[in-house]
Amino acid sequence: MAEYAKPVPTPNPVSAPFWESAKAHALKVQRCVPGQHWFFYPRLRCPFCHTQDIDWVEVSGKGRVYTYTVVYRPQSSEFEEDVPYVFAVVELEESPNLRMYTNVDDVSLDDIKSEMPVTIKYDDVTADTTLVKFVPA
């Protein structure tokens, strides 16, 4: 298999559980215990009540495209071979505070639209790294 040339994430101790759950194909995100507040991106404290009493909770994997763009001029040259492709913000169904940058694959450029229902596609780009992407639901 050709070596993956695109950037891969370097987790930190706070975000490691997120990336491990992606690798396990069972995505987990943070939800605080006292307020039950879902939030993303991974942090030490709940942004709503500032507590450190936080659980990692598995999500359904379902969501909607909050918005997207079709990329013609990528930041990094490694993505030029994929142009045009979809770079999006997807909102998970559990909460509007669970929004993440991602790609939407297996969708025609005529069909992709804001509010489109999507579901997770785990992309095992290397032996160590799984990226969280989405496809039309």
Partner 1 sequence: MTLKGAAAITGIAEMKPAKRQEGLTGIAMAADIAIRCIADAGLTKDDVDGLVTELAFGNPTALIDTLNVHPNWAHGVHMMGASGATAVAAAAAAIHAGYANNVLCIVATQTQDDVPAGGPGLDPDYMQQFIAPYGPVAAANGYYALVAQRHKDIFGTSDEQRAKVAVDQRFNAQANPDAMFYGTPIELDDVLNSRMIADPLRILECVMPVMGAAAVMVQRADRAKDGPNKPAYVLGVGQHTDHDQIAHAQDMLTTPIAVSSKRAYEMAGVGPTDMNMLSLYDCYTITVIVSLEDAGFCEKGEGGAFVQSTSLRYDGDLPTNTHGGQLSFSQPGLAGGMSHVVESARQMMGRAGDRQVPVLDYCFVNG
Q: Which residues bind partner 1 (CB under 8 A)?
A: 6-12, 15, 41, 66-76, 79, 82, 84-85, 87-89, 97, 99-103, 109, 113-115, 125, 131, 133
| C-alpha distance from residue 41 to each of 25, 29, 54, 101, 106 (Å) | 18, 8, 13, 10, 25
Q: Which is nearer to partner 1, 54 or 86 (CB)?
A: 86
State in angstroms the smallest separation of the CB of 90 from partner 1: 9
CB of 133 to partner 1, least distance (A): 8
Q: How far is the CB of 125 from partner 1 (least distance, A)?
A: 8
Q: Which residues of 30-54 are buried (b: 16+ CB within 10 A; e: fewer)?
A: bbbeeeebbbbebeeebeeeeeeeb
